[in-house]
Structure 1
Amino acid sequence: MEPSPAVQRAAEAVAEAVARAGGSHGPRMHPFERMAARPCVVEAVEGSVEVEGNYLGTTIIDMGASQVLIGRRLAEHLGLHQEENVTPEGWDIGEGLEEGQKEELTGVLEKARDAFAYSLAELGKCNRTEMEIDLQSSEPVYQRRRRLSPGDRDIAIAKCKEVLAASLIQESTSEYAAATVVAVHKYLTGEMLARRMWEDYRGLNRMTKSDRVMDQVLQEVPRALCYIDDVVIYSQMGEQHVADVAATLVTIEVAGLTCHPEKCHLGVKTVAYLGFQVGEGGLSVQQAKVEVVDRLKAPTDCSTLRAQLGFLSYYRRFIPNFSKTAKPLSQLLRKDEGWKWWKEQERAWTTLKEAVKTAPLLKLPNPDEPFLLYTDWSSSGMCTVLCQEEKGTERVVAYVSRSCSPAESNYSSYEGEGLAAVWAVELFRPYLQGRKFTLVTDHQPLLWLMTNQTLKDRNARWAMHLQEFEFDVKHRPGERLCSMWMA
């Protein structure tokens, strides 16, 4: 097959660049450079070479006797026009879009090529704001270098060379220093396997003020939100989603930022976000986190227990009576409390693990539908369950519980139920205020609290607090309500 004129000119340009570079070692290949495929019969050179001009990292990769991959930036610099657009491969476009909409979205992605970084050299530089690091103290933050194993040291050195070559860092003799850590890294699939170098900037971050660059960048996109560097577009599927993706990419590109193409999931019905699986069906625990919980081993000291309990507590909205269940574990973290891992602690720890592993699918709240609020109180703690009806069936939106203080444990039953009602209503104020809901209780004295005209002290304050809300009180006799939901 005869090479096209464009490929022939590219090959000649690369050959000339290699000749100018000189030396017998040949060019070096950038490990992340992406190329556009074109057939030819020109002998390929493996690697990349620096040439004079405004571009860096020209790369030719040998793909066999009939293909050569040409760097996009080199082609643009040489004025080589491709006969057709090269569609980015590997886009995760879900089944939430029709075929025509998928094609339209693919066209949007092709046009927004500069909104993505396929290599470290293509990472964007934000032009939206000037970064000023305001320190709370003039004392330098310095962390001593941590000891690394030979394998971890090799990983750290290789990473430093890589980002140094991409001009993302520079050598420094500053009085500020952060410790290098090599830890397990999460693959794009969610598996925690590879080891990767990190810098522990927590000490420095405590000295600086937080910035809101991404909030400023996306403030004009109505259905896009960002948490640190994770952007979620929560539009309806179809044409609106395609338009929202296009608007988001244009905004990001104009700001000089770039996205990781392999981390983009578009047109999907569910997405893993901040440890949760979020979608049209509701909210659930991300499967990768369930696997982490399954691998947890029983703690042997307070430090490990505190870390595990904090991790499990992140999913407490899925666990009825979390505080009551975790109480034997929480007591071990009290000051001057000795380490006593007995059957009670083992049972509580196992129960919490199983609760996360079998966590239910929570309903996403619908502001147009009425809410039902269940409350329950005991001398050891209180719990509440927020629900909504869906197709004639009550579905849970969230479980919340907490322990009682020593004073609250001495309340009478009707005072305790009143406290639980006030606490639950205040907790879910953003969902309940301004709309009528139903407060469901299994305790008759709570009905008396809502209707009595001669209340005093805290009972009167609670009744006045509840008057801010519009609700009906429904008595449902039987077993403890939160225990019923747990079953």
Structure 2
Amino acid sequence: AKHCQCSPSGVDKIGCTGDVEHTIQTGEANPVFCQPYRVSKFERDLINEKVGEMLRDGIIQPSQSPWSSPVVLVRKKSGDHRFCVDYRRLNAVTKRDVYPLPRMDDVFDCLAGAKIFSSLDLASGYWQVSVADSDRYKTAFVTPDGLFEFKRLPFGLANAPATFQRLMDRVLGRLKWKMCLVYLDDILVFGKTFGEHQERLQQVLVALEKANLTLNLRKCVFGTSRVKHLGHVISGEGICPDPEKVSALTDFPVNNVKSLRAFLGLASFYRKFIADFAAIAHPLHALLKKNARWDWGETQEKAKGTLVKRLCHTPVLAHFDDKLEVEIQTDASYLGLGAVLMQPAENGPRPVAFISRRLTDAEGRYHSNELECLALVWALKKFRCYVYGRPFQVKTDNSAVKWLFSKKELVGKFSRWVLELQEYDFHVGHIKGAENPVADALSRNPAVPLTVTGTSMTEHLSCVLKSNNYSMAEVAYLQQIDSQIRPLFTNLSTNPDSEFVLFKGVLFKRNSIDRGRKFLLVVPSTMRREILSRNHDDPTSGHFGIEKTLSRLSDRFWWPRMAKHVRNFVLSCVHCQCFKHVSRPHAGLLEPIPPPSHPFHTIGVDHLGPLKETDGGNVHVVVAIDYLTKWVEAEAVPTTATIHLARFIKNQVINRHGVPIRIISDQGSAFTSAEMDEEVRLWGVKHVLASAEHPQTNGLIERMNRSLTSALAAYLNPTHNNWDNLLPDAIAAINTAKQSTTEYSPFQLVYGRTPNHAGDNAFDWPNECPETREEFLRRVSAMRRAVRLKITCKQKKYKCYTDKRRRSVAPFKPGDTVLVRRNIKKIGLSKKFLPKFVGPFQIVRQVCPTTYLVEDLPAKRIRKRWRRFNAHVCQLKLFRLRVEEEIDDEVSENEAEDVDDSETGSSTIISGHARKTQVVPSPVLTLPPP
């Protein structure tokens, strides 16, 4: 048979190369020697048996050396014992051989385009290398029955890996990197086609044969499309961790610092597969700091479990291809830095590697713009081997990087960073935070764990989603490879009465609710993250609560457990938690305003502001809302003068919707002026003035002002002077969102149809049967009658609820992470656009029934600035961090406090506090000491 010399039939026939000999340079060191360890009779018999085998096979020989090292038996998982020699004292006096071992990253970066693989393993590789005659006596080992020395290279010598790697590089030097990879005795042969691979494999076997090296055929794998190599699984699609290695982490016991270091060492081996490794592992690394007290709690257990779960659901990273374009996405938060290297593929960009790290104490005090620049400098250093000497793109969701290159005069670290970046040829592009998976991973910790198959588009802790719309072909492909959706195709073929239908190869679900589209697109898991973000984070979605977000989605999309996913996504939105109000019942009985008989019968009008003056000179917003449909009109104005108010009502309300019967407003000077009285008289409108200092009389418009403020605050520029440009989008988001009271969007109640949202035209929806005029009028009239009943019913329930006394809340527990309400004021910025809460902080203990002692999180405990203060329970709100795995987990009722969703002046209040302590970032804002 060909290359039969490479496959020995026994240990006595393993090869022995003459290309390299192992030497042991000890200089003038005195011989080190040791008496044999005391062992049991059973262990002594095992040692003698192994010594006899090695003597018979010519691996060792009797010795008279002055050197000696003791023998130890190491128990294997299988129950057998491994014969080892403790060479620590010999290694201490050995001069080091610094011959390099290949870097793991370099080994895997040569596999672009490879489809066929063979894995070769040398038979007792070290024993195929001779020890130099002049140095054999130094390898002597002592047993209870004699002294022996090695003729062949033993395990445990300090320079053994360097010697063996030098041998393999000499034997396969001209083939290495081009057709095979070599790491000690593990050889990987690769090729793009079977024929090419076969030719390359033969060249490798010939080289091994010439060097008199033999293989262990039981451990070799030939001509496969998927192979395990160096703790990874390699295929034509990319590289992922070896599941057998990852499984070792599942039940890894962590009960002290030593075991924690071991766990993190093993987990860090695969850190390039996890986008936010540093952020997730932060609570674990905190226990390894100097003088840190060992305090293993829920936070640490959660972080450990998240790492294990993320490793079990890692994406298949693409092989780096030097011929393809390179894109780097970076992001920074107050918890760490992160970046991802990506290259284009058939189904969109695919990640090649993820990197992340924690911030130092000094970096933790950087401004966010400084952190963004730092992230870029750090990422390019890490990815230098990929991008140096070639053009590439950098994408970030922060404009600080562009500012860095446009600034003429720079000082300090900025000037140093610019100099460091000058050697790279790159273009900086902007990417929305919702489309930046690294930003979600580090700053908002993204959410859907995915099983990656082939070249499917997947997410970060998790691959990168395309920012553009999906084609129908891509949607069909992603549906077919989705483990949750694939069974629905099978059921469809066997069940003709299925609620699912195929249209142009894409799976849809029949809508059983008489609202929205008749057919709902079945969304695969790889698209859900982007769909959720578009319908909650996008400017036309307004960062609304659970009900509105779910309604916006359920009118067009469906996937298993969608309601739970939406609930988790919204509750863990950092922006919503920090910027939205926490609504609570107020004292005093409620007198609801009866719902009007038809649209635009009764409208509420109010001024919102003053806000930061815009480039157009606007400072206030005039807002009007219809009491039946909840339709909103708004316009930016420079002042609250009557002339602007009257023009708004004339142009935006009367000319568009007709003259209302009644207008409700407060007693502001613009509403009580003589000019306004004259305008109202000419229009023939009844003007109702609300009680002074009692905005609840016009509660609907006051509640709408809050919703509008929250919608605008999500997308302002740093100077807060572009809100008038964002106003139309915010109004569109409100008017197309379902109201919890009416259960319809204002758009539906006014126009009698479902609105078409941004991105909907990318999907080819099935045609719906057209209605006759009579059918349309009957349906709209019935819908509005039902809405009046719903408003009346809702108002009765809300009155009953509001008139009750304030309810007590479940107590916080030590270790809970909370936000603290603060009345933030900043010169030059509008108070309405600033966060309502700061933090997060950690509960230390309960001082009294209504007061808690809170302190900075461990990540922000800087010497002399460690804040600890008392806070009243009404100032506290539980903080929930978005962790990728939790999007799929059900959230209990106690994990949310206040879900703002009502447009009747009320809100859905869920009492209680979450008990799951999350891995949390540093405070959103700096809170001055109390």
The answer to whether the superposition gives a TM-score over 0.5 is yes
What does 1:310-459 correspond to in 2, within 5 Å? 310-459=265-414
Distance 1:202 1:396 in 2: 42
Alpha carbons of 1:339 and 1:145: their partners in 2 closer, same or farther (altered >3 Å)?
farther
**1:124 maps onto 2:15 in alignment:** yes
Residue 383 of structure 1 deviates from its aligned partner by: 0.8
What does 1:66-215 correspond to in 2, within 5 Å? 110-135=1-26, 138-142=29-33, 145=36, 153-174=44-65, 175-184=67-76, 195-201=81-87, 204-205=90-91, 207=94, 208-209=96-97, 210-211=162-163, 212-215=166-169
8 Å CA contact 1:438–1:472 kept in 2: the answer is yes
Moved more, 280-289 or 111-120: 111-120
8 Å CA contact 1:115–1:252 kept in 2: the answer is yes
Distance 1:259 1:288 in 2: 24
Counterpart of 1:320 in 2: which secondary structure? coil
Match for residue 431 of structure 2? Answer: 476
Distance 2:217 2:13 in 1: 12
Residue 166 of structure 1 deviates from its aligned partner by: 0.8
Counterpart of 2:18 in 1: which secondary structure? coil
Residue 435 of structure 1 deviates from its aligned partner by: 2.2
Deviations, residues 209-251 of structure 1 (Å, cap 9, x unaligned): 2321111111122422311111111233323222222221121
Residue 117 of structure 1 deviates from its aligned partner by: 2.1
Distance 1:327 1:136 in 2: 45
Residue 120 of structure 1 deviates from its aligned partner by: 0.8
Paired letter, 2:85: E
**1:263 maps onto 2:189 in alignment:** no
Distance 1:291 1:195 in 2: 23
Deviations, residues 321-354 of structure 1 (Å, cap 9, x unaligned): 2112112111222232222111111111111111
Distance 1:178 1:318 in 2: 41
Deviations, residues 148-172 of structure 1 (Å, cap 9, x unaligned): 6665554444322222211111233
Distance 1:140 1:430 in 2: 44
Counterpart of 1:111 in 2: which secondary structure? coil
Match for residue 18 of structure 1? Answer: none
Paired letter, 2:57: A
Alpha carbons of 1:424 and 1:145: their partners in 2 closer, same or farther (altered >3 Å)?
farther
8 Å CA contact 1:418–1:446 kept in 2: the answer is yes
8 Å CA contact 1:332–1:340 kept in 2: the answer is yes
- Which residues of structure 2 form unaligned runs of 5+? 98-161, 447-459, 462-883, 885-930
Aligned length: 371
Paired letter, 1:169: I
**1:232 maps onto 2:188 in alignment:** yes
Counterpart of 1:215 in 2: which secondary structure? helix
Paired letter, 1:131: H
Alpha carbons of 1:150 and 1:444: their partners in 2 closer, same or farther (altered >3 Å)?
farther
Match for residue 903 of structure 2? Answer: none
Alpha carbons of 1:205 and 1:111: their partners in 2 closer, same or farther (altered >3 Å)?
farther
Distance 1:346 1:150 in 2: 44
Paired letter, 2:259: T
Distance 1:440 1:308 in 2: 33
Residue 144 of structure 1 deviates from its aligned partner by: 6.2
Q: What is the TM-score of this pair, normalised by structure 1? A: 0.71
Deviations, residues 87-130 of structure 1 (Å, cap 9, x unaligned): xxxxxxxxxxxxxxxxxxxxxxx221112222110111111134
Please say which structure displays the higher CA radius of gyration: 2
Q: Choose from 191, 206, 209 the match for 1:250.
A: 206
Match for residue 896 of structure 2? Answer: none
Identity level (%): 32
Distance 1:148 1:237 in 2: 55
Distance 1:184 1:247 in 2: 36
Match for residue 478 of structure 2? Answer: none
Match for residue 170 of structure 2? Answer: 216
**1:272 maps onto 2:164 in alignment:** no
Deviations, residues 137-191 of structure 1 (Å, cap 9, x unaligned): 6244556655666655544443222222111112335323154232326xxxxxx
Deviations, residues 21-65 of structure 1 (Å, cap 9, x unaligned): xxxxxxxxxxxxxxxxxxxxxxxxxxxxxxxxxxxxxxxxxxxxx
**1:296 maps onto 2:252 in alignment:** yes
8 Å CA contact 2:69–2:85 kept in 1: the answer is no
Alpha carbons of 1:146 and 1:414: their partners in 2 closer, same or farther (altered >3 Å)?
farther
8 Å CA contact 2:246–2:311 kept in 1: the answer is yes
8 Å CA contact 2:7–2:217 kept in 1: the answer is yes
8 Å CA contact 2:328–2:342 kept in 1: the answer is yes
Alpha carbons of 1:337 and 1:146: their partners in 2 closer, same or farther (altered >3 Å)?
farther
Moved more, 149-158 or 299-308: 149-158
8 Å CA contact 1:120–1:163 kept in 2: the answer is no
Paired letter, 1:410: R
8 Å CA contact 1:152–1:182 kept in 2: the answer is no
Distance 1:309 1:143 in 2: 35
Alpha carbons of 1:400 and 1:136: their partners in 2 closer, same or farther (altered >3 Å)?
farther
Distance 2:280 2:23 in 1: 46
Cα RMSD between the aligned structures?
2.3
